[in-house]
Amino acid sequence: RRSSDLGDDKKREIGEYYQQMLKLNPGDPLLLRNYAKYLHEVEKNVEKAEEYYGRAILASPGDGDLLSSYGKLIWETEKDEDRAQSYFDQAVHASPDDCMVLGSYAHFLWEADEEEDEEIPQGTAPAMIGA
């Protein structure tokens, strides 16, 4: 079932569940990350998602998957290539053998390259500099 298919009552129920769990476990990095992902992907609340990703990173700064997820959020919502790149770099450094982290990083690089290609008009050659 896709997150977009969830009804408002179910969304509210899930959100309340996360909030209850966070009251009991406020520093749990997995719970913080999952709630951030829920806020981003289901609730479409980017501001709150950033807050909870930030809290999760503070709780577990060496979690490559978490850093990668946050980089993805930054890229998708702000198109801030430098900032997203920074988090992806940290993610790859933290988890160099994690195929999910590497795949997310590759996807980011692909999209960032496409964004740059769109900025350069097709058929435009770089200007030649005279000697």
Sign of the torsion formed by the C-alpha atoms of 84, 27, 40 and 38? positive
Domain count, the chain: 2
Residue type, 62: G
124 pLDDT higher than 60: no
**72 and 90 co-located in one domain:** yes
Name the token pair of 40.
Answer: 């981003």
Cα separation, 71 vs 38, in Å, equals: 16
User: Quick check: is 126 in a domain?
Assistant: no
pTM more than 0.85:
no
Q: Which domain range does residue 4 map to?
A: 1-60
**80 and 56 co-located in one domain:** no
User: Quick check: is 123 in a domain?
Assistant: no
pLDDT digit string (tens) for 96-117? 999 999 999 999 999 999 988 7
**2 and 51 co-located in one domain:** yes
Distances (CA, A) of 9 to 6, 42, 98, 123: 8, 13, 36, 52
Cα separation, 66 vs 54, in Å, equals: 10
